[in-house]
Amino acid sequence: MINDYNDLNYIGRLVIDSYRENIKDESYINEKIEILFENNNKLDSLYSVLNMDQKNRDTLSKKLGTTKEDFAIFLEVLKKV
């Protein structure tokens, strides 16, 4: 059974929305949703961003209302947490 996108936390939904803008393979999206359901909190969901490619990261940074440069700095800090 596929978990429901609406049950993801805020960050998880933004990650999936970013994937959906760039990837049309729904089975891939569903796989990502399943992976995000394993996260216990928003911080865990943010860690999943480290595995995104640059195009999806850029889309996510736009959704978060930040510049690509500031988002890149944030990710560097996240790697140290």
Tell me the mean pLDDT per 10 residues along the chain, length 81.
Answer: 81 97 96 93 94 96 96 95 89
Check residue 2 and give its pLDDT. Answer: 59
pTM, two decimal places: 0.90
**Separation between Cα atoms, residue 81 and residue 76, nearest integer Å:** 9
For 65, phi then psi, to 5°, come to 75, 30
DSSP E strand boundaries for 1-81: none
The two tokens of residue 62 are 């736009």
Check residue 4 and give its pLDDT. Answer: 85
DSSP state of 28: H
